[in-house]
Amino acid sequence: MEKKIIRVGSVGLGGIWNGVHQPGIDRSPDLELTAICDIDEKKLNETGERLGIDPAHRFLDYHDLINCPDVDAVDICTPNDVHFPVAMAAVEAGKPYDVEKPVTMTAEEADILAKATEEKGLPNMVCFSYRFKAAARFAKDLIARGKIGQVYHVDMQYFQAWGLPRAECPLVWRYVKKHTGSGALGDLGCHALDLVRFVLDKEYTRVVGHTGTYVNERKLLDGSGTGPVDVDDFCNYMADMEDGVSASFQITRFAFGRGNYQRMEIYGSEGAIVYSLDAHQGVDDEIEVCSGDINAEAHAYTSLHIPEYYYSDQMQSFADIVNGKWDGKAARIQDGQANQHVVDAILESAESGGWVSL
């Protein structure tokens, strides 16, 4: 079969695009970067020069990129408030898209985007990146094969440190509600929610959450003073899931010494699994398992070698989805939509102080 090269137009040339999307597009034999868009003209031109994108394919307005005949698929890496309009414009133009998380600012927007995408039958992907971690895929498979029996508990931590006062991070968009929606919750907590749902293959039924902010003012980017932080620095929540699973989460940007640390402990009737990320220097994702009578008695958790089979790549998965070869694992808009409903419910619960049903 002839291999189809997908010509990609990327919108939003910030950290996540430079660190993850662009290298991923570059790695994939099925993707070719043909157009770029950013509201920052200097960044746009510097990026275009660096990557050899000719000036006619550098756009300040995302509508122009989407309507460009040399763009087959749209790659959306903007701040959160722009995900929805760009994705909707891609759908209206009948172009497949991938979009960063959280998919939208509200569940209402996510519902509209999911419906419009479904109506057009467009290939799409939501960038819940940790679904591509081999340890997470291995854990998911072990649970699906019944290796730890009935799951009772899952406990997930997602910790970073860049909010701490000593890091002196200015008022970037991730601290401004009108651009980000929520803080640590929408940025890190949405990954945690998705990863637990993915690994366990169960839906959330109700949540209760608590959010807080430690640093209420940060330096403005232009150096003209300070501005208010109006989103959460940390967020802790509990959730009930289908089939009696009781889940708890701790999410913060104030965890000293942490980079991009995640830990998910899953306890079942016949065994337990611990997934971790960035727990040891120079090591990415890891999995430990305790199963069988001898290990249970000895409280022995064994680190497992992860078979090659579980390795995958985010941008290659997008190429595969556009080429009609979804692996059944990468997140799609319905996953982003479900995620956004839980994020909104946690925010509602943090306001009201009570449980919110889904």
For ligand SOE, give the closer residue by CB, 72 or 278: 278
Binding residue for ligand SOE, selected from 22, 104, 124, 160, defined by CB under 6 A: 160
Of 59 and 132, the one with the shorter C-beta distance to ligand SOE is: 132
Stretch 171-210: interaction string toward ligand SOE, x if CB under 6 A: ----------------x---x-------------------
Closer Cβ to ligand SOE, 57 or 332, answer by number: 332
Site string for ligand SOE, 21-60 (x = CB under 6 A): ----------------------------------------
Say whether residue 129 binds ligand SOE (CB under 6 A). yes
Nearer of residues 157 and 160 to ligand SOE, judged by Cβ: 160
CB of 171 to ligand SOE, least distance (A): 15
Site for ligand SOE in 329-348 (CB under 6 A): none
Asked if 18 is part of the footprint of ligand SOE (rule: CB under 6 A), the reply reads no
# chain residues binding ligand SOE, by CB under 6 A: 6
Place of tokens 């569940």: 107
Cα separation, 88 vs 130, whole angstroms: 25
Nearer CB in complex with ligand SOE: 101/140: 101
**Minimum distance from CB of 152 to ligand SOE (Å)?**
28
Binders of ligand SOE among residues 243 to 282 (CB under 6 A) are 260
Q: Provide CB contacts within 8 A for 298, sequence distance 6+.
A: none
Least Cβ distance, residue 11 to ligand SOE (angstroms): 16
Token pair listed for 256:
């000293």
Nearer to ligand SOE, 57 or 191 (CB): 191
Contact residues for ligand SOE, defined by CB under 6 A: 16, 129, 160, 187, 191, 260
